[in-house]
Structure 1
Amino acid sequence: MPTLFDLTGRTALITGSSQGIGYALAEGLAAHGATVILNGRSPEKLDAAVKTLADQDYTTHTAPFDVTHAEAIEASVAKIEAEIAPIDILVNNAGMQHRASLEDFPHDKWDDLLKTNLTSVFYVAQAVARFMLTRGHGKIINIASATSELARASVAPYTATKGAVKSLTRGMATDWAKHGLQVNAIGPGYFKTPLNKALMENTEFTAWLESRTPAGRWGDLDELKGAAVFLASDASNFVNGHTLYVDGGLTISL
């Protein structure tokens, strides 16, 4: 049974993985035997992340491309396939947040959120899936959110993108499952990440979150690793189009 979760010999590309959730998922997959390819726009942050993983004797590479540029994605994916290894696992994690009242939400930030949180998922998955489809197998994990189900004031555009990621995940599975691909999503609740720094420093918000979440606390990044390993491994070979919420019970409780 332990071999169900063994990722030895498999290669995983994780977007937006120089810090936060992306880095934690890269570390989790590497700990189970995968070679991980870290992506981001800052070569300096990527180099630091790779060094930390290499110090743990994990096999790592970097791919510093912009996930919102289709041509750059296609060129980088082709280079990875030709020079590193076939991509067996893709984690679409890159994302951004901007908080503002909806009536005053800047149009340029709306466009940025759509490109980074939603369009990039389509671009990267499409580029990687073209190779996976020819091989007849592959795992794609999109990072959704508790806000794929729930709305909160000041983040309606973010909520819109994450709701769309959930639906796009279902659409990808519907198109590609018959070709041997499993496409699923992870929906994190509120975790201690750089993206949530402002919220973590807000004592009023933290008190509200702790009272609203059945588990009564923020999530720790290590608690996301098991979900990623499950969805990346043979243990999930008949799981498709599913969003696995890792949220301390936030989305199931009033």
Structure 2
Amino acid sequence: MTHYRSFVALGDSFTEGLNDPAADDRGGAPDRFRGWADRVAERLAALDPEFRYANLAVRGKLIDQIVAEQVPLAVGMRPDLVSFCAGGNDLLRPGSDPDRMAKKLAGAVRDLRATGAEVLLFTGVDPRDTPIMRRARGTFAIFYLHVRSIADLYGCRLVDQWSMQGLRDWRAWSDDRLHMNEEGHRMVAAKVCDVLGVPTEDDWRMSWPPRERVDPRVKRREDVQWVRSHLGPWVVRRLRGRSSGDDLDPKRPDLKPFG
């Protein structure tokens, strides 16, 4: 089993942990997020009392922002392990260029690997079942093929979410249909532990029990409510050039003991 004494997580909302609520230490209110990276850090901390962890991910960040703002901080921290997952927010925007994005990612991975850190990369989930993303499925696939190539070229570990069939079930996702819920993050954490060779009791290969057939009228009402509550505000932010992460700081900006 590989031993990691420090871990820095880079990225956007996926790595920040939306929408996997964690109870606030003072009163149990779900006003902060746990997510797959915190779950993996919990496992690593259980194996080493001196383990340290930082999570620099901020929701809404584009790959250029992550490379410019988060990667230099991670290089300076010189951890044993760095996770880098980005690109989803870029690929949702018209005119995104997966080839240019891949070059940006490759440069960042090269800098991170030069510190001696193990680097963990991710493909995304197959977007064919996702209302917003499925029209750009080919663009997503091109970028994720680049990610696989970069992982091979620089000797990185790869978490292939595209092959995780359990994540294609809506029960792994929150109401906004863009972010995983607690179960989704739990599955991803189990997959990451598997890739890293870290023991865990969870199994990412889980299968969901059969689901009852949904009345088409109920499904239409749910779709309308989703457009009003989630798609509409998302489009408005894009038109205004705003991001859900504007003015937000990372939840764990310093490499410190986990707790």
TM-score by structure 2 length? Answer: 0.51
2:194 is matched with 230
- Of the candidates 144, 164, 168, which is equivalent to residue 189 of structure 1? 168
Task: Name the counterpart of 1:157.
Answer: 135
Against the structure 1 CA distance between its residues 183 and 158, is the aligned structure 2 distance closer, same or farther, given a 3 Å change threshold? same
Q: Summarize the alignment of residues 131-142 of structure 1 with structure 2, pairs less than 5 Å apart.
A: 131-142=111-122
Structure 1: gaps spanning 5 or more residues: 43-65, 99-107, 201-217, 236-244, 250-254
Aligned ranges for residues 1-254 of structure 1 at < 5 Å? 4=1, 7-16=4-13, 17-18=15-16, 19-20=18-19, 23-32=34-43, 33=45, 35-41=53-59, 66-69=61-64, 73-82=67-76, 84-86=77-79, 88-93=81-86, 95-96=88-89, 109-111=93-95, 114=96, 118=98, 122=102, 125-147=105-127, 155-177=133-155, 181-187=156-162, 188-190=167-169, 191-196=172-177, 220-231=184-195, 233-234=196-197, 248=207
Letter of the 1:20 counterpart: N
Q: Shift of the alpha carbon at 1:155?
A: 4.0
Measured after TM superposition, the shift of residue 77 of structure 1 is 1.5
What residue number does 1:54 align with? none
Q: Relative CO higher for 1 or 2, CA cutoff 8 Å, sep ≥ 6?
A: 2
In structure 2, stretches of 5+ residues that fail to align are 21-32, 46-51, 199-203, 209-259
**TM-score, normalised to structure 1's length?**
0.52
Q: Secondary structure at the match of 1:89?
A: strand
> Between Structure 1 and Structure 2, how many residues are aligned?
177
Question: How far has the Cα of 1:144 moved from its partner?
Answer: 1.3
Q: CA deviation at 1:132?
A: 3.3
Which structure shows the higher helix fraction?
Answer: 1
Residue 129 of structure 1 and its aligned partner are, at CA, apart by: 1.4
Deviation per CA, 1:9-47: give whole Å up to 9, x if none.
3333243233137951122122123613131157xxxxx
Matched residues, percent identical? 8
Q: CA deviation at 1:222?
A: 1.8
Q: Deviations over 1:48-107 (max 9, x none)?
A: xxxxxxxxxxxxxxxxxx42436x62353213322x344722230563499xxxxxxxxx
| In structure 1, C-alpha distance between the alignment counterparts of 2:111 and 2:80, rounded to whole Å | 8
Distance 1:25 1:219, change over 3 A: closer
CA distance in structure 2 between the aligned counterparts of 1:12 and 1:153, rounded to whole angstroms = 28
* Secondary structure at the counterpart of residue 62 of structure 2: coil
Task: Please give the alpha-carbon distance, in whole angstroms, between the structure 2 residues aligned to 1:40 and 1:136.
Answer: 25
Distance in 1 between the 2:186 and 2:132 partners? 28
The residue type paired with residue 189 of structure 1 is R
* Aligned equivalents of 1:175, 1:79: Cα separation in 2: 23
Aligned residues of 1:30 and 1:36 also touching (Cα < 8 A): no
Partner Cα distance (1:91, 1:29) in 2: 14
Post-superposition Cα deviations, 1:101-151, rounded to whole Å, max 9, x if no partner, equal: xxxxxxx9433xx36xx579636633431233324552222141133xx56
Q: Report how far residue 248 of structure 1 moved.
A: 3.6
Say what the alpha-carbon RMSD is for the aligned residues: 4.3
